[in-house]
Structure 1
Amino acid sequence: MDLTQVSPTVWQLAFPLGHVHLVRLPDGYALIDTAVPGSAPTILNALARLGGRSPDLRQIVLTHSHIDHMGSAADLVEATGARVLAGALDVPFISGTEPEPEPAYTAPERVLHEQIMASFSEAEQRPRHHVPVDVELHDGDTIDDWGEPVRVLHVPGHTPGSIALHLASSGVLFPGDIIATTEGRAILGPFNVDRDQAIASFRRLASLEVEALCVPHGEPVLRGASEVLRAAAPENDWR
């Protein structure tokens, strides 16, 4: 279990596919994304390493609806009673009332997707379990009880309702899958339903003042994230 401290209150828990982040709150913890189905025991073990118990998990924020982000949400809600928060436009896909839209793959993305699906098959990936969403989030909303202001940004393109979280006081950004990292660079995340919209969302996030970048795929950027983001060229990624 690879648990990396990003800031005094934020830790990244790395998974082979879809890292998650634990955030210490004044009265417990929040979790950003939940990895693939079957990841709940590992997440709860990480919480225990930080000194928390299952009931201390107060909130689960889902950056979007994909299985490597909401896959263990239902199990964690059952184990902890945490509330689920998600972008309003992705709520039907998370709750299972509407089918999830398919990405528009570029040729390199299709190759990567096939590799990932093959690894899922070999690992006998567990099925997705949908989960009700307690709080629908919109652009400009704030999330309470985190000990500092948390701004919600609607960053569509990867999915219709993708969101990012910006903790301006501590300079931490959770971009969801709009941004990934590789070899110290920030790149556009693959598998987008609308590539142009995703690039625009990337550029919006790159305009923020950010010290630490907490990506679900790749290594976190612990210092100087704004410079890394502004040096990126998302238009050239996955072409």
Structure 2
Amino acid sequence: MSQSDAVHPDAAHPGAVPNTTTRSSTVTDGVHFVQGPAVNWIIVEGELGPILIDTGYPGDGAAVTATLGTLGYAVEDVQAILLTHGHGDHIGNAAFIAGLADCDVLAARDEIPNVRRDVLEQVGLADVQPHLERPGVATWLNHAVEAGGLEVVPPTAVMAVEAVPELRGALGVEIRPIPLPGHTRGHLGFLLVEHGVLVAGDALITAHPTSPHDGPQLLPEMFHGDLQRARQSLTKLAGLPASIVLPGHGPAFFGSPAQAAAEALAFGSAF
């Protein structure tokens, strides 16, 4: 597993405080996992070019561009953007990148209204306020605001992943969408079939500023649309053929999705 640290001076969105550091890991041939200060994204190298899974906060824009650059790609080379869900820390640069690359943005059909901001299924200040005294919550909130979480420009042209019958042909790599609703109604995971990797998004994380726990877990309840459904979705991971799990927050988990899910269900969430 190769790793590199990078410093990126400018954000793609001038209203956001730019991300200054990322940690990029090649977890297996052609799959690159990038940890920003608060959220992750993944670059998958397909036969047709790179595919981006999630896009960070607006303030991560230059970092996303730079991590593509370290692999020899320009933003214009991106073939498609796959979104696990429509929260601002995952869609923050989707419109910007899709506009430059002239590529499709794909999400679950049920998630498209959230991605487009036709509805807003996301934690709000009223949900956060009762927990501001908890360790890490104020720090997380300040970062979310500074990184442009309130200034997200959503992509307006979003295609339902269910409408693409053969993703292998469209993307140049076999990626299987895995419905994992609960965090949001249309949350997806993505199984990278040829690589033995599961991209879990926020269905399962391994660390977060609001949690004192390190390891597979659920985000605190305030972040979920339906916590019980999110728990039920973890049971779907048991039979998936993967040996690496890439979460939306926290480091990669090297083990099976079944093992990660069992640990997450055993711990639950921080509050």
Aligned to 1:186: 216
| 1:88 Cα offset (Å) | 1.1
Alignment check: 8 A CA contact 2:121 2:225 kept: no
Q: Does 1:169 align with 2:194?
A: yes
Aligned to 2:210: none
| 1:114 Cα offset (Å) | 4.3
Q: Structure 1 length as normaliser, TM-score?
A: 0.86
| 1:91 Cα offset (Å) | 0.6
Aligned to 2:144: 120
- The amino acid of 1:229's aligned partner reads A
Alignment check: 8 A CA contact 1:91 1:133 kept: no
Deviations 1:76-97 (A, max 9, x none): 1122222100111111121122
Alignment check: 8 A CA contact 1:176 1:215 kept: yes
- The amino acid of 1:118's aligned partner reads N
Aligned to 2:161: 137
Aligned to 2:51: 30
Whole-angstrom distance in 1 between the partners of 2:254 and 2:182:
25
Whole-angstrom distance in 2 between the partners of 1:124 and 1:230:
34
- Change in Cα spacing, 1:49 to 1:14, as seen in structure 2 (3 Å) is same
Percentage of matched positions with identical amino acids: 25
- Change in Cα spacing, 1:209 to 1:125, as seen in structure 2 (3 Å) is closer
1:10-159 alignment to 2 at 5 Å? 10-100=31-121, 102=123, 111=134, 113-121=137-145, 127-138=151-162, 143-145=167-169, 146-159=171-184
RMSD: 2.9
Whole-angstrom distance in 2 between the partners of 1:110 and 1:102:
17
Deviates more, 1:163-172 or 1:130-139: 130-139
| 1:44 Cα offset (Å) | 1.4
| 1:10 Cα offset (Å) | 0.4
Where 1:185 maps in the other structure, the secondary structure is coil
- Change in Cα spacing, 1:98 to 1:124, as seen in structure 2 (3 Å) is closer
Where 2:105 maps in the other structure, the secondary structure is strand
| 1:150 Cα offset (Å) | 1.8
Whole-angstrom distance in 2 between the partners of 1:225 and 1:153:
12
| 1:143 Cα offset (Å) | 2.3
Alignment check: 8 A CA contact 2:48 2:172 kept: no
Whole-angstrom distance in 1 between the partners of 2:59 and 2:261:
33
- Change in Cα spacing, 1:6 to 1:166, as seen in structure 2 (3 Å) is same
Alignment check: 8 A CA contact 1:157 1:194 kept: yes
Where 1:233 maps in the other structure, the secondary structure is helix
Aligned to 1:229: 261
- Give structure 2 stretches of 5+ with no counterpart: 1-5, 7-22, 208-212
State the aligned residue count: 239
Deviations 1:196-232 (A, max 9, x none): 0000111212442320111110110234554343344
Whole-angstrom distance in 2 between the partners of 1:99 and 1:124:
16
Deviates more, 1:50-59 or 1:4-13: 50-59
- Give structure 1 stretches of 5+ with no counterpart: none
Q: Does 1:210 align with 2:235?
A: no
Where 1:144 maps in the other structure, the secondary structure is helix
Deviates more, 1:160-169 or 1:147-156: 147-156
- The amino acid of 2:101's aligned partner reads T
Alignment check: 8 A CA contact 1:199 1:234 kept: no
| 1:178 Cα offset (Å) | 0.7
Where 1:21 maps in the other structure, the secondary structure is strand
Deviations 1:35-59 (A, max 9, x none): 0013222111111110112221010
| 1:140 Cα offset (Å) | 11
